Structure 1
Amino acid sequence: MIGDNVFYIALSWAAVRSGTPSQAGLVMAVSAVPRALLMLGGGVVADRFGPRRVVIGSDAVRCAAVLTVAALLFVAHPGLWLLALLAVVFGIVDAVFMPAVGALPARVTGRDQLARVQGMRGLAVRFANVVGAPLGGLGVALGGSATAFALAGLLIAVSVPLLISVRMRETPQAGGANTADTADTANTANTANTADTADTAPAPVEAVGPPGDPDGAPARGDASGPHARVPDAEDGAAAVPERPATAWRDLRDGLRYIRGHRVLAPLIVTIALGDLGFVGPLNVGLALLADRRGWGASGMGLVVAAFGAGAGAAALLLAWRGTLPRAGSAGAAALLGGSVAIGALAQVPGVGAAVGVALAIGLLAGLSGALCGALLQTQSDPAYLGRVTAVAGIVSLGLAPLSMPLTAAAIGWWGTGPVFAGSAVVCGLGGVVALAVRDLRRAELPR
């Protein structure tokens, strides 16, 4: 993550120095297109071939691509086309890397630790954001974009052997998923048994898999339990042989799995609404608000820092506690509280009050995001987790960023107050959905 932050600093600086502002903006944006278009396929790849292999391979490709560009920039000035190509490669690799990373925790540790891992991951993100940008700036100051790219490549290179050292737990096959990772690590610990899953599942939700299935893998055509599957049209009597698993079939199975899941389906809707209402105001909207209030760059920096501190505190809480009671309801309440704070941010006149409101937004939105992420991990069958993460990633990385230009245009038309209030309503609808769906409202994290 630190390497990624350094990379984007280097990419933005090189693009600005090589072209016009509009060309630089295009270079920075092109990576989002392949990432959004290909992420569903990346989830299928992660589940078919195993997240460990996919993460190691994609991370090595990212490292090689960044170091190659750094070397070329040291000896020549190839121009914007090379930077655009690198951004596209990063977007393609991210489409595979991100779902695989999302599928890793369930293969590494038990269900009772997944929420704690999610909190630790949140802390890592905040740490990388704080450290990465100054490191990228230092690299640019010392030797220009080439040095910054080299630094990013070396940081990513360090992560490759760390990923290789990770060992997987065995997980059941489901929906055509491959257990390639577990074949490499057959001497590691076995997956926690279904009895553990049943003991830690929320009261109204049945244990994973049909009765009598020792692996906890959902049977084709089974329409009960939280992981209910919608049978294919070709599913018939047990005597009828199934078609061979294909990537397209795995993709359809993953989407049906999410759609038929009584917790995951509304949870992803909640995440989508929360991100759509949150990303615009807290990115482009905050800059416009600071400009109109006369807070200046330093005032905006204080507000952003307060938000980061609140989000970091929420991640630390989950990493320390490992679980929170009534996680579904707590996440919904935090999302509703955060939405109110987003609307209030546009009404405060001074920097001091804005810092306090931003701290509350970070704490509440961070807690909601961490709990939603933990529920996503604990409620998903590990064999489908790559595809589940991909769908959630498309929402966060594909749809939510589209709200930023819309937010900027809307503020130009109607001002900050109405736009922040409208965004707060969208964000709050996510909390309403979570409270309205009984299985999500009553969902619990394993203890």
Structure 2
Amino acid sequence: MSTPEENPARSSTGASQTAPPKAAEDGPARLPRSYLLWLAGILASLAGNAVFYFALGWAASDHGGAIAGLVLSAITLPRVLLLLVGGAVSDRINARSVLIAGDAVMLVFSLLLAAAAYHLGAPPALLIAAGAVVGVADAFYLPASGSMPRRLVAKEQLPRALSLRQVGGQVINMGGGPLGGVLVGLAGLAGAALVNAVTFAAVLVVLILLRPRHEVPPTSSKTNLIKEASDGVRVAFSHPVLRPGLLLTGAAAGFLLPVLPLLLPLLARNEHWGAGAAGLVIGAQGLGMVAVTLVVVRRGPMGRPGLLSATGLVVAGVGVLGLGLAPGVAGATAAGLVIGVGNGVFSVHIMPLVLAVTPESHLSRIQAVLVLVQSLALLLMNNVLGNLAGLSSPMVVVLVCAVVVAGVGLMGLASGPLRTNRTGLES
């Protein structure tokens, strides 16, 4: 896992012989085994979560829409309320320790839930309590987990490392629903909880064996946790690169992410395209994202991360505009591909940039702010855009999203610190 050394010219029997340089054809340095081991554990955990969330939602839907909404709120509310505190705890103690504690707690909880569901079924009270436990655990787990790539790989490897994680996550998301459906049909909520317990056990073993290569000493601050959490917000929005980076991330979460899952079905119904056509557009978007992500996994970052992040949003905005104006299914599918390419370029550059420029003392807290910005933007705009589509038309709302996404991307290009930053490009 050590990087190749560049040897100076050496002299042998009086003749000067220059060792051949380690050229670009050798390709980027391999990702550390420690990161690949951690990634395997995380992907296993994501698979377990995908199955469990499907089972939880399915069981809640049996009690009607109101209970299903309460279960989802039970997950989201504590997560949002405690995220900043969770980031502060991780920076104060140690991210790996927080992850080990979180996995141990969720392992025990999953086993208890499996036993309770086996004997009691899935009453609303049990589902709501389960959602609340998951939400609280996520508030502490997500900031710590988000900071781990920075602790396991060098800054210049972050784009490839996070792109590989993104590809794995997309594969898990595609298979999680069908797998969850099969498992719930065979074993119900109890079976899904047991599968989740197995994945938590696997990740727990990985974390115990893991030794981060770039570990950051925990902060020794004795100030109030709330003050430490608020300091994370202060650093995030006062940093010349983090501030515009968070603005781009919030805009993408609020105006780009809802386009396909929320607005596309409404648009397809309004244009009489049918469900199959909507599926083609979503598939084209996924193809575009995966293609870009695989390029970065293989070759590394494409250039200045801030510049490419903003450019990616502009491209995605053009794709959303094309979707809103598409005369038919073929045009909408092409627009979906453009959206995927733009979103892919944005995602594989903005996340490594945010992680790389974050001060070492605030790694988990900035991740908490990042997740909070995304969560709040998505929660708010899903409701706003859905209501606007009902009041006007889906096409109008899609066009509004296109203008906002492209406009924020142009604002990012106008930000000198973001546009010119070269963090992570050092050889």
TM over 0.5: yes
In the aligned structure 1, how far is the partner of 2:190 from the partner of 2:307? 49
Q: Distance in 1 between matches of 2:197 and 2:284?
A: 30
Q: How far apart, CA to CA, are the structure 1 residues paired with 2:239 and 2:285?
A: 33
Matched, 1:324 2:281: no
Cα distance in 2 for residues equivalent to 1:47 and 1:7: 29
Greater fraction helix: 2
Q: CA deviation at 1:89?
A: 0.9
TM-score by length of 1: 0.81
Correspondence for 1:435: 413
Partner of 1:15: 60
SS at match of 1:324: coil
Matches within 5 A, 1:44-55: 44-55=88-99
CA distance 1:167–1:304, change in 2 (3 Å): same
Closer, same or farther: CA 58–172 of 1 in aligned 2, 3 Å = closer
How far apart are residue 297 of structure 1 and its match? Answer: 2.9
What code does the residue aligned with 1:177 have? T
1:256 deviates by 2.7
Percent sequence identity is: 31
8 Å CA contact 1:343–1:420 kept in 2: the answer is: yes
Deviation at 1:379, TM superposition (A): 0.9
Residues 150-199 of structure 1, C-alpha deviations (whole Å, 9 max, x = no match): 223323332221222221235455xx725xxxxxxxxxxxxxxxxxxxxx
Residue correspondence of structure 1 range 109-188 to structure 2 within 5 A: 109-171=153-215, 173=217, 177-178=219-220
Q: Structure 1 residues 13, 369: CA separation in 2 closer, same or farther (over 3 Å shift)?
A: same
Following TM superposition, by how much is the alpha carbon of 1:121 offset from its aligned partner in structure 2, in angstroms? 1.3
Structure-2 separation of matches of 1:370 and 1:411: 30
CA RMSD of aligned residues (A): 1.9
Per the TM alignment, residue 20 of structure 1 is displaced from its structure 2 partner at its CA by: 1.3
Alignment match, 1:101 = 145
User: Which stretches in structure 2 are left out of the alignment for 5+ residues?
Assistant: 1-45
AA paired with 1:446?
L
Distance 1:306 1:149, change over 3 A: farther
> Which of 94, 100, 111 in structure 2 is aligned with 1:67?
111
Decide which of 264, 267, 271 is 1:289's aligned counterpart: 267
Distance between the aligned counterparts of 1:141 and 1:349, measured in 2? 41
- What's the CA shift string for 1:45-79, capped at 9, x where partnerless? 11111111111211222233233222211122251
1:210 maps to which residue?
Answer: none
* AA in 1 matched with 2:80: A
Whole-Å separation in 1 of the counterparts to 2:262 and 2:345 = 22
Aligned pairs for 1:33-52 within 5 A: 33-52=77-96
**Is 1:4 paired with 2:49?**
yes
Structure 1 residues without counterparts, runs of 5 or longer: 179-242
State the one-letter code of the partner of 1:112: E
Partner of 1:398: 376
CA distance in 2, matches of 1:101, 1:119: 15
Deviation at 1:321, TM superposition (A): 1.8
CA distance in structure 2 between the partners assigned to 1:106 and 1:26 by the alignment: 36
State the distance in 2 between where 1:71 and 1:430 align: 49
Q: Deviations over 1:23-51 (max 9, x none)?
A: 21321232111111111111101111111
Q: Does the Cα contact within 8 Å between 1:276 and 1:427 map onto a contact in 2? A: no
CA contact (8 A) 1:107 1:170 kept: yes
For the 8 Å contact 2:267–2:395, the answer to whether it is kept is: no
What code does the residue aligned with 1:313 have?
A
